[in-house]
Structure 1
Amino acid sequence: MLRFIRERVRGRHKKLLHDYIAIFFIMGTVLFLSFFVIGYIADSTAMGQSRGASRVIYKQAREQMEQFEEDLANMQMNVVKDESVLCFLEASDVYERLLALERVQGMVGMNRRINRNLENIIFYDEGGNLIFALGNVFLDKPDLELNEMLNFSGRMWDDASKQACFEVGLPVYKEDVGGYTLLGSAYLLFNVGNLQDIVNRALLNEESAIALVDGSGRAIVKAGKWEDYYGEYEADMEDKSRLVYAEYVGATGWRIVNVIPKKALLSGASQMRKITYVAFFAMVSMMVFLCAMLYKHILYPISRQIAFMEGFTKDTHRRIEVLEDNEIGDLARKMNQMLDDIEKLNGEIIESNRKFLEMEYAKKQTEMIAYRSQINPHFLYNTFNCIRGMALYHGEKEIADLTMALSSFFRYSVQGEETVTVREALENLQRYAQIIQYRFNGKHKVTVNASRDVYLIKIPKMLIQPLVENAVLHGLETKVGEGTVRVDVRQEGQGLVVRVKDDGCGISEEKQRELKWAMECFDREETIPDGGQGIGFLNVYRRMRLFYGQEAVFTVRSTEGEGTEIRMVLPVGGR
């Protein structure tokens, strides 16, 4: 049975271990794949959102540039259509221009107050000669082919103010009856502060770059990580590493170029990726913790129980140590209880077998003794009958009666079953009493009292007679005066009470202690110590225990010089 349990437990342990490994492998694989899927979705989502956002920001920047162009056109038209400017350019001599100059200065000051980025307004005559300039910054006339539209220069640099500038030029015409007459040209010089603000706001992130470039590809204003070769882009394009937006701004001849590395587009996914990393490591930590807990509270206790079962046959008294306060601990406790019950049952079986063997041995001994005593029993019976007949022939009735009693006592001792009725035991006791009376010439006697309701109760043969014989030999034989042994048998409840009492010399206290110790030794170890004293007495106690077990009661009360009383209480019906 233990081998079956051990094999079942070992097989279950392997199955659990395989199941746990499979579960954790599947969970880890799903978690790993989920991590990549979430990362891919996050990157795709961030890429799409960043594309849309960058496109919107770029479009806004371009619209702001176009609005800036429109504002410049309005300002330029206000300048070239102003009457003071026309009078100033149309004057035929210096005196007339001086008279118109004051009004021109007022107009220039008003426009500079309106637009803080306006640095200077410069006027040239129809031959391209400088006439007037009013402002803080003055640069050489740019090489522009003027037409009726606004004409924008490229990037210009002022060494004095250390700032980038650009100019916008427009011819000035006077309307006549026959058409338009060219009076000269007006150039507005601006710094790039307003344009710089536009590109700064349009910068998507620190990794990207945006710039407003002129016709030659030079950056007028720029922001971010701009590279000079980015100015070569003239249209939208995309490759593996970057996304480029490039469009011309109105009629300026300028382009707004936005270069965005694709890795910069994923910057919005970094937060989601961090959350994914944290969740992934949290799940891995939970799985590791769960593995540790499962091993500690399930697999390890089961392995301990398996190891215990494997080593149990070497030491059957050993028990598994209960360390868990859960179902595994309950299983260990139940296993210990089961082993205790099995050990107790095995002990009871061994004890029962030992008692059975001892009873068989005692029975064999009795049979051997009976066999020895039954050597030619017919010869002994015929001899007793012959003696009895000769005694009767010679008129010796007492010898005849004694011979008859001895013959019957001998027949009862060597023949019959192991158990007899109380009536048969008492009849044999009467014959023994008759022999004792002849032996001691009436000095000692044995009396028997019993109620009829106990006659049919079965008891072991030779259970009462040895006690009576022991009382006569050890209690009355050494007594000077007369002595009596009283035997009383009655039923009390479910017990048969047998009392053997004599008025002999009694038993000393030391002898009583020896007998009590011998009986306790038999109850404890079921062996009678070799003391050489009280053998008949202890044999009766041994036969009573073997036949009735602990259900029988055996007590001895004795006072030295007064007598001894032995009391047995036997279960009715035996065991």
Structure 2
Amino acid sequence: MLRFIRERVRGRHKKLLHDYIVIFFIMGTVLFLSFFVIGYIADSTAMGQSRGASRVIYKQAREQMEQFEEDLANMQMNVVKDESVLCFLEASDVYERLLALERVQGMVGMNRRINRNLENIIFYDEGGNLIFALGNVFLDKPDLELNEMLNFSGRMWDDASKQACFEVGLPVYKEDVGGYTLLGSAYLLFNVGNLQDIVNRALLNEESAIALVDGSGRAIVKAGKWEDYYGEYEADMEDKSRLVYAEYVGATGWRIVNVIPKKALLSGASQMRKITYVAFFAMVSMMVFLCAMLYKHILYPISRQIAFMEGFTKDTHRRIEVLEDNEIGDLARKMNQMLDDIEKLNGEIIESNRKFLEMEYAKKQTEMIAYRSQINPHFLYNTFNCIRGMALYHGEKEIADLTMALSSFFRYSVQGEETVTVREALENLQRYAQIIQYRFNGKHKVAVNASRDVYLIKIPKMLIQPLVENAVLHGLETKVGEGTVRVDVRQEGQGLVVRVKDDGCGISEEKQRELKWAMECFDREETIPDGGQGIGFLNVYRRMRLFYGQEAVFTVRSTEGEGTEIRMVLPVGGR
């Protein structure tokens, strides 16, 4: 029957375990695919939004560059068409040019106040000779082929001011009846402050790079993680790792190049990814929780029942602990009831066999009673009393007293409870002292001192007497001359202090180390090492520890030739 139930439960357990694994696999697969689909959608959405935003920002930057170019063109035209400039360049001698110089200087100062980035305005005559320059920075004339349009130089560097610059050049003509006459050329030198502000604002993020490059591909201004080879891009392009925007700016010959790593475009998806991670974690947690509940309430109870049935033959008194209030719990209760019925039947059979064996044993025991004699303590007490009576009859009082002391001492040792009062222990110790006094003819004595307030305190039986006996045997017997063992019992606070002190030969340092090691072994392993010496001493220590535990204190102080003192502090009331 038990085997049938075990096989049936095991079959159900295997099926449930198979279904559990399949469900877990399906749920895990769905969650895994959902996570990747959501991540793909989030990346695609973020990529599209970032791509549009980056294109708008780039377009705004290019428009700002073109507006900047237009502002420069207006300023340049105002300069080259100014009457004072024309008069200054047209002057035929130095005197006329000096007369026009003051108005030219006023015009230059006004333009520098209008545009803070204008560093210098430089004029050359028709032969290319420098004739005027007014500003903080002066650089050599760039190699430009001037025409009617604005001509922009590439990136220029001023070592004195440690700043990048560029120049805009335009020829200066005078209109005559027959056409136009070339009077010279004007160059406006600018720093790149405005341009740097534009590219800084156009930088999408720290991973991107944007720059305004000249015709040779050198960066005039740049921002972000710019690489020199980015200046080679002349048109928009896209590959697996980056997105590039590159367009020329008006008639400057410059290009504005924006390089954006695609991973930087996905930075906007971080928030959506966080939401996805939270949702995924919540779903995984719920799945784990459901699986844990399924395992706890179904699979684990079935596993426990299978393990119980497999180990039942080793301990037939065991029962399944019912933890579930469902079909699994009902199955466990039914099984426990069946096992109880089986055990009851087995008990009845065993009881019948026991009664039969007891009857057979009683019959055999009756046959042996006649051949066996029993010795009990009463026989010894009666014998000691007989000896005492004979001693009194013959007038041997000392023999009678010694016999009486020995009889009482023996009765105390073999009868009674495990614990006695301090008074009973001290009375027995007095009888032992009497025996010692007779034995050694008064050479050695045992003195007992105790206050009445400790008489009713309970202590283990035979806890003090073995220490006194040990002191007499090992401390006083080998001593030349008289010796005394003093026993002092008193209460200090919540402890009973027992002190056994002798003035015998003492204990050697080596022996003290052995005893201390033996006591430490017992505290650590609860066994007394078989050292062959100090067995009575160590037995007292063992009984004290077993009765009081670590609450009791046991100390030994001894000096060779001066005696030994053993001090015990026992908790009042014991265990």
Q: TM-score range by the shorter chain?
A: 0.5 to 0.7
How many residues of Structure 1 are paired with residues of Structure 2 in the alignment? 575
How much has 1:6 moved relative to structure 2? Answer: 3.2
Deviations 1:506-562 (A, max 9, x none): 999999999999999999999999999999999999999999999999999999999
How much has 1:193 moved relative to structure 2? Answer: 0.9
Distance change in 2, residues 1:436/1:364 (3 Å): farther
How much has 1:130 moved relative to structure 2? Answer: 1.4
Distance change in 2, residues 1:194/1:362 (3 Å): closer
3-state secondary structure, aligned to 1:497? strand
Distance change in 2, residues 1:563/1:364 (3 Å): farther
How much has 1:34 moved relative to structure 2? Answer: 2.1
How much has 1:138 moved relative to structure 2? Answer: 0.6
Aligned pairs (5 A) from 1:74-85: 74-85=74-85
More moved, 266-275 vs 519-528: 519-528
More moved, 263-272 vs 543-552: 543-552
How much has 1:432 moved relative to structure 2? Answer: 78
Q: Distance in 2 between matches of 1:333 and 1:59?
A: 80
Q: Distance in 2 between matches of 1:503 and 1:144?
A: 124
More moved, 498-507 vs 86-95: 498-507
More moved, 236-245 vs 414-423: 414-423
Distance change in 2, residues 1:522/1:313 (3 Å): farther
Tell me the equivalent position of 2:492. Answer: 492
Q: Distance in 1 between matches of 2:567 and 2:356?
A: 26
How much has 1:211 moved relative to structure 2? Answer: 1.1
3-state secondary structure, aligned to 2:371? helix
How much has 1:341 moved relative to structure 2? Answer: 7.5
Distance change in 2, residues 1:424/1:325 (3 Å): closer
Q: Distance in 1 between matches of 2:226 and 2:484?
A: 139
Distance change in 2, residues 1:62/1:516 (3 Å): closer
Query: In the alignment, is the contact (CA less than 8 A) between 1:219 and 1:231 conserved in 2?
Result: yes
Q: Percent identity?
A: 100
Query: In the alignment, is the contact (CA less than 8 A) between 1:359 and 1:546 conserved in 2?
Result: no
3-state secondary structure, aligned to 2:119? strand
How much has 1:404 moved relative to structure 2? Answer: 81
TM-score (norm 2): 0.56
Question: Which structure 2 residue ranges, 5 or more long, are not aligned?
Answer: none
Query: In the alignment, is the contact (CA less than 8 A) between 1:217 and 1:232 conserved in 2?
Result: yes
Question: Which structure 1 residue ranges, 5 or more long, are not aligned?
Answer: none
How much has 1:480 moved relative to structure 2? Answer: 87
Query: In the alignment, is the contact (CA less than 8 A) between 1:370 and 1:414 conserved in 2?
Result: no
Deviations 1:37-89 (A, max 9, x none): 22322222222222222211211111111111011111111111222222222
Distance change in 2, residues 1:8/1:505 (3 Å): farther
Distance change in 2, residues 1:529/1:111 (3 Å): closer
Q: Distance in 2 between matches of 1:276 and 1:314?
A: 54
Distance change in 2, residues 1:454/1:355 (3 Å): farther
How much has 1:406 moved relative to structure 2? Answer: 76
Q: Distance in 1 between matches of 2:227 and 2:399?
A: 153
More moved, 452-461 vs 234-243: 452-461
How much has 1:433 moved relative to structure 2? Answer: 81
How much has 1:194 moved relative to structure 2? Answer: 0.7
More moved, 424-433 vs 168-177: 424-433
3-state secondary structure, aligned to 1:18? helix
Aligned pairs (5 A) from 1:218-229: 218-229=218-229
More moved, 526-535 vs 96-105: 526-535
3-state secondary structure, aligned to 2:220? strand
Query: In the alignment, is the contact (CA less than 8 A) between 1:374 and 1:414 conserved in 2?
Result: no
3-state secondary structure, aligned to 2:122? strand
Deviations 1:354-381 (A, max 9, x none): 9999999999999999999999999999
More moved, 20-29 vs 519-528: 519-528
How much has 1:307 moved relative to structure 2? Answer: 3.3
How much has 1:151 moved relative to structure 2? Answer: 0.8
Q: Distance in 2 between matches of 1:189 and 1:557?
A: 105
More moved, 324-333 vs 386-395: 386-395
Deviations 1:482-519 (A, max 9, x none): 99999999999999999999999999999999999999
How much has 1:235 moved relative to structure 2? Answer: 1.2
Distance change in 2, residues 1:436/1:207 (3 Å): closer
3-state secondary structure, aligned to 1:63? helix
Query: In the alignment, is the contact (CA less than 8 A) between 1:373 and 1:414 conserved in 2?
Result: no
3-state secondary structure, aligned to 1:172? strand
Q: Distance in 1 between matches of 2:285 and 2:14?
A: 25
Deviations 1:193-214 (A, max 9, x none): 1111111111222222211111
Tell me the equivalent position of 1:160. Answer: 160
TM-score (norm 1): 0.56
Distance change in 2, residues 1:253/1:352 (3 Å): same
Q: Distance in 1 between matches of 2:138 and 2:501?
A: 155
Q: Distance in 2 between matches of 1:565 and 1:316?
A: 55
How much has 1:161 moved relative to structure 2? Answer: 0.5
Query: In the alignment, is the contact (CA less than 8 A) between 1:298 and 1:328 conserved in 2?
Result: yes
How much has 1:299 moved relative to structure 2? Answer: 1.4
Query: In the alignment, is the contact (CA less than 8 A) between 1:125 and 1:184 conserved in 2?
Result: yes
Tell me the equivalent position of 2:305. Answer: 305
Query: In the alignment, is the contact (CA less than 8 A) between 1:355 and 1:546 conserved in 2?
Result: no
Distance change in 2, residues 1:552/1:175 (3 Å): closer
Q: Distance in 2 between matches of 1:341 and 1:84?
A: 128
Deviations 1:234-256 (A, max 9, x none): 11122232222111100001111
How much has 1:191 moved relative to structure 2? Answer: 0.4
Q: Distance in 2 between matches of 1:105 and 1:441?
A: 143
Aligned pairs (5 A) from 1:177-326: 177-277=177-277, 279-281=279-281, 283-309=283-309, 318-324=318-324
Question: Whose radius of gyration is greater, 1 or 2?
Answer: 1
3-state secondary structure, aligned to 2:258? strand
Distance change in 2, residues 1:8/1:155 (3 Å): same
Query: In the alignment, is the contact (CA less than 8 A) between 1:423 and 1:456 conserved in 2?
Result: yes
3-state secondary structure, aligned to 1:372? coil
Aligned pairs (5 A) from 1:452-463: none
More moved, 306-315 vs 2-11: 306-315
3-state secondary structure, aligned to 1:251? coil
Distance change in 2, residues 1:355/1:105 (3 Å): same
3-state secondary structure, aligned to 1:165? strand
CA RMSD of aligned residues (A): 20.6
More moved, 372-381 vs 243-252: 372-381
How much has 1:8 moved relative to structure 2? Answer: 2.9
More moved, 546-555 vs 349-358: 546-555
Distance change in 2, residues 1:429/1:2 (3 Å): farther
Q: Distance in 2 between matches of 1:53 and 1:541?
A: 89
Deviations 1:448-472 (A, max 9, x none): 9999999999999999999999999
Distance change in 2, residues 1:79/1:343 (3 Å): same
How much has 1:344 moved relative to structure 2? Answer: 8.2
3-state secondary structure, aligned to 2:142? coil
